[in-house]
Amino acid sequence: MSNKKPTFKNIFHDYMEENIKLALWQKTSIVMLLIVFAGFFGWIYEFIFYYFDGGMQRFYMQGGNFLPWINIYAIGAVLILLTTYKFRKNPLAVFLISLVVTGILEFIAGWLVYKIGNGTRYWDYNNEIWNFGNIEGFVCLRSVLVFGFSALFLTYLIIPIEIWLAKRLPKRLFLTISIIFLALVLTDEIYNILASKFFGWPDATDFYQSLGWEYLIK
């Protein structure tokens, strides 16, 4: 590349041709922003989906955080990145690998919460629309198809955009943005998972319910 700031087209070409060179700070910042974006994307998806699932009467609050962010989508995005990055020249491989990886993640996470929490469920596909291929309420074909198509969106748009930003923005600025956003969602997560329970403080679910929001599963 020349000394000129790279265009998105050039970045995308190098990314697809496996010719992209990134410093450790750039890789780290990209993953941090990916975690933030994926959790936010998942929250938006569920917020919209459960409006239809609930009969289009009202919107339901989703997730267990104050911020619009759901952790399992962030975990899934990182797993997708790790397992499909070397296959990014083959969209079908990215799609199919993502189906398997996210399906396994969703089933294991749902099953563990159910067993450890004595029947607790954070989602239950037994009671949802479009639940074809449902396996014990923990995973269904619709959910993994959504994750598969989301993986294509992630691989061929979001990650290239983040790489482009990492190449365009000054190091300190890009690092600062990434750290601040990740710190916000992780602080929110730690408070709701640990601090609120240890100290008996109200968690995000209690807070939003006090404002009149409903959850489909609590």
Residue 151: per-residue pLDDT: 97
* Signed CA dihedral, 115, 118, 122, 123: sign only: positive
The model's pTM is: 0.92
Residue 1: per-residue pLDDT: 45
Q: Give the residue-averaged pLDDT of 5-33.
A: 91
Per-residue model confidence as pLDDT tens digits over 37-68: 999 999 999 999 999 998 888 899 999 999 99
Q: Give the residue-averaged pLDDT of 160-182.
A: 96
With cut-offs at 50, 70 and 90, classify the pLDDT of residue 2: very low
Please report, for the chain, the start and end positions of each structural domain, with discontinuous segments joined by +.
27-104+139-210
Q: Give the residue-averaged pLDDT of 153-161.
A: 97
Q: Give the residue-averaged pLDDT of 22-45.
A: 97
Give 79: exposed, middle or buried? Use CB within 10 Å, 0-12, 13-18, 19+: middle
Average pLDDT, the chain: 93
Residue 79: per-residue pLDDT: 97
Tell me the two tokens of residue 37: 């974006």
Residue 4: per-residue pLDDT: 60
Other CB atoms within a 10 A radius of the CB of residue 137 amount to 17
Residue 201 and residue 160: Cα distance in Å, rounded? 41
Residue 21 and residue 14: Cα distance in Å, rounded? 9
Per-residue model confidence as pLDDT tens digits over 82-135: 999 999 999 999 999 999 999 999 999 999 999 998 888 889 999 899 999 999
